[in-house]
Copies of this chain bind each other. A is one copy, B any other.
């Protein structure tokens, strides 16, 4: 029952373990090299337009007891993952941690979940296979989609064909943990509108914004899950849909935009898989707080700190972001997306979004 991509993932894992055998044969101490995952070791990839790891690596070697134990755990984990793929099963990071208690070698058991999480990330980076392709499910579930999209999802219970307006309730289509089980069959959508809060997502659906503007409304639910970012990237790549991101107007929400557009430092090895560098920010922009006279709150010290950090973050070093962030530091105000309701419940769909989408050249 396992697919071709499962077979490939399995082979990559077994190749990793085979390296240790080769090293033994050559008389080398077994080791594994992984890129250093720090802010100073990420670089902009001009071709892919995403941030990836640089050349610096750190070495896990069996030349110490601690290092040897790390490699032992890696080998046990590789065996578990290879079996899981063979049997077409899956598990969560937390299950892997607990499952290690059943392994026959006490030294291979994880001492905490940070250790098993870190190891899975190492294996992703070294093998070039994503966690989802190892059949490791995220703990956090993806969000929902509402809009003119027709898709086929391969489930364990067979195929399901779903239209994300006609075949779903008001709650929308629930994105599965691994959206690569989805095939897009067709769409009438002109663009994607990824929305931070549930309240705003519901407003747009109630006002029929997806219908009137042929928009796919993707709910981000705060900092988006991997599944949400992955399906956004695929919708952009495969259907050619522009991606717009609509959040609150504060530095924490700009990070939500950043995680859709650029990915995070922790997962720079996944940028090509999860990030959509062409994603554009709709708002709430600091300029909107002024222009639309939105109800607002003063910036706190930690807001100011976060904005200043963003100014030095390579991913935010564009004219657009420098201008907006500097304006915000000047006006010392932030606003939420639902603050648009101060002009009436339809202001966001009748005025704000159409104006912004027009300015951005999307409609």
Residues of B within 8 A of A211 (CB): 157
Query: Does the CB pair A176–B171 fall under 8 Å?
Result: yes
The 7 closest A-B pairs by CB, nearest first: A171-B174, A101-B342, A92-B199, A98-B341, A153-B169, A95-B341, A170-B176
| Number of A interface residues in the complex (CB < 8 A) | 57
Residues of chain B within 8 A (CB-CB) of A181 are 170
Q: Which positions in A face B, CB cutoff 8 Å?
A: 89-92, 94-95, 98-99, 101-102, 137, 139-142, 144, 153, 155-157, 160, 162, 165-177, 181-182, 197-199, 202-203, 206, 208, 211, 219, 221, 295, 336, 338-345
Structural contact, B177 and A168, CB atoms closer than 8 A: no
Instruction: Let me know if B197 and A139 touch, CB within 8 A.
Output: yes
User: In the complex, what residues of B have CB within 8 A of residue A176's CB?
Assistant: 169-171
Q: A342 — nearest CB in chain B belongs to which residue?
A: B101
Contact in complex: B199, A139 (CB < 8 Å): yes
A-B contact sample (9 more), CB < 8 A, given A92-B199, A95-B203: A89-B206, A90-B202, A92-B202, A102-B342, A153-B169, A169-B173, A169-B176, A171-B176, A174-B174
Q: A94-B199, A177-B170, A199-B139 are known contacts. Are A156 and B208 too (CB-CB below 8 A)?
A: yes
Q: State A198–B160 Cα separation when bound (angstroms).
A: 22
In the bound complex, CA of A160 to CA of B89 (Å): 32
Interface pair A137/B202, CB less than 8 Å apart: yes
Q: How far is the CB of A150 from chain B (nearest CB, A)?
A: 13
Looking at the assembled complex, report how far the CB atom of A168 sits from the nearest CB atom of chain B, in whole angstroms. 7
The complex places the Cα of A208 from the Cα of B101 at a distance, in Å, of 25
Cβ contact within 8 Å between A174 and B169: yes
Query: Contacts A165-B157, A174-B174 given: A206-B90 contact, CB under 8 Å?
Result: yes
- Determine whether the beta carbon of A206 is less than 8 Å from that of B342: no
* Assembly CA distance A312 to B231 (angstroms): 48
Name which residue of chain B comes closest to A90, CB basis: B206
A-B contacts, 11 of them at CB < 8 A, read: A90-B202, A95-B199, A101-B295, A139-B197, A141-B144, A141-B198, A160-B167, A162-B167, A162-B169, A171-B176, A171-B177
